[in-house]
Amino acid sequence: MIIMNPSSGRAEARDYIEAAETALHSAGYQVTTRETAAEGDATAFCRLACREGYDLVVAVGGDGTLHETMNGLADQECRPKLAVVPMGTVNDFARALQIPLNPADAVRTLSSSRVQRVDMGRLNDRLFVNVVAAGSLAGSLSSVTSEDKTRLGFLAYLKEGIKELTGNHVHPLRITYDGETWEGSSPLFLAALTNSVGGFEKLAPGAAVDDGLLHCFIIKDLHLLNSVTVSISLLLGNLRNHKDVIYFTARQVSVSSADPVKTNVDGEEGPPLPITLSTIPRHIEVVVPEQ
């Protein structure tokens, strides 16, 4: 089953469906294509694929489409393999698995015989695929519209982020992880499953897609001048060593606040705090390039 979001990739997702169907037919698959029209469609289609015993689900879209599709695999007895044709703004999951970011190249990967087992994350009663962020900056990124993503790409996130940084808004956070507790004020908490977050492929350079761990960052101070040094640390893969960053790994994390605080999950708006995060090690099989 191909699950396609027609609004992804500057509304070009449909342009690749015929090639994807041809590649899958050549690999011996019978193919059904489903097109999303509303929130939750990708999850419903994926659950249908599980119930009907499909061998493979192909998500054609961005990280939001992939997030919905993967939630359809939650708690299913039959879980098809997953393949990805990235069409979104950032495509962190594809980056982490070295799936080509060019959709035409990714389509050619669909016939690969190589699969990799990948961890999933659980946030309360839903799954996530890549990253959970909490704090004022996370809330501002959730306000980026689909129109801005299509028109501006990654610059849409950058525009909203800079607006939030100039305000230097922080919230009191209480973070408990594997028997430890941190309390303080922060504009941003991140929990990542992979090395790539927001297009930064060196955010957590030690993270592996199957290590069973959440790689977590607490940003203690992010005023505008300091954000320059944070950005340099991001680019060099040294964020964990920055003086205003606390880094830890854990299998379970709880985050709460006395303030109303928003979250962002895989690039989309998530539930407000409090939240509980955990990992489901090696939960799904993903088709990856032969080499």
Alpha-carbon torsion (49, 87, 207, 42), positive or negative = negative
Q: Are 214 and 176 in contact (CB under 8 A)?
A: no
Q: Which residues have a Cβ under 8 Å from the Cβ of 84 and sit 6 or more positions away?
A: 58, 59, 66, 93, 94, 97, 99, 106, 286, 287
Residues identified as active-site? 268
Distance of CA 49 to the CA centre of its chain: 22
The CA distance from 160 to 267, in Å, is 13
